[in-house]
Amino acid sequence: MDKPIHPNLARIASSYDALILARRSGQISETDAYTRIKSLIAKDDFGVEWSISPETGEWRYRDKWGDYYYAPPPEYGMVSATPYDLQSGGTTYPRVTLYPVDANVAETEHTTPLAASDLKYGRLNVKYLYTTLIAAVIVCVVLYSTLTR
């Protein structure tokens, strides 16, 4: 098994592997593979942009001035949902390994979203809000008048 890698970076590593295989099998041209590899970018937990160099195949990150530096990628981190994951229910990436965070969460009694009837106090009633605000204003006026005498 390969060395662990941040899940967001594992996604682009999987795409990189697929592009290299497609290039070697002749499915895409070298120029197309280069362009697609160059567009593979992911961020780690600190917002640092990582990519794989199309020329060398090595990991690199970009600093805030846009300069690239070659370095080993982070090994762990939080996975970020992509728009595709949210829209289609997600997909599997061969290099992404997800570890359970809290196995007991699935066994709790609230595994479905709460309905409005489950709320303890229900909806906020506007009538009571106005009554409370008027009472607070009256208390403030009375306190002000007694303190200024």
Domain of residue 56: give its range: 7-99
- In order along its 149 residues, the chain shows pLDDT tens digits of 467 888 888 888 988 999 999 999 999 999 999 999 999 998 888 888 999 999 999 999 998 888 999 999 888 877 776 665 555 555 555 555 555 555 554 454 444 544 545 444 445 555 666 788 889 999 999 998 888 87
Q: Which two tokens stand for residue 60?
A: 């690199």
Would you say residue 28 lies in a domain? Answer: yes
140 and 85 together in one domain: no
Which 3-state string (H, E, C) describes the chain?
Answer: CCCCCCHHHHHHHHHHHHHHHHHHCCCCCHHHHHHHHHCCEEECCCCCEEEECCCCCCEEEECCCCCEEECCCCCCCCCCCCHHHHHHCCCCCCCCCCCCCCHHHHHCCCCCCCCHHHCCCCCCCHHHHHHHHHHHHHHHHHHHHHHCC
Shared domain for 80 and 125, answered yes or no, is: no
Identify the pLDDT of residue 21. 92
42 part of a folded domain = yes
pLDDT of residue 125: 55
112 within some domain: no
Q: Is the pTM of this model over 0.75?
A: no
Phi-psi region of 121 (alpha: psi -120 to 50; beta: other; left: phi over 0): alpha
Residues 23 and 55 in one domain: yes
Q: In whole angstroms, what is the distance from residue 113 CA to residue 110 CA?
A: 7
Asked if residue 140 is part of any domain, the answer here is yes
Q: Would you say residue 134 lies in a domain? A: yes
User: How many domains is the chain built from?
Assistant: 2
The reported pLDDT for the residue numbered 63 is 87
Is 54 within the bounds of a domain? yes
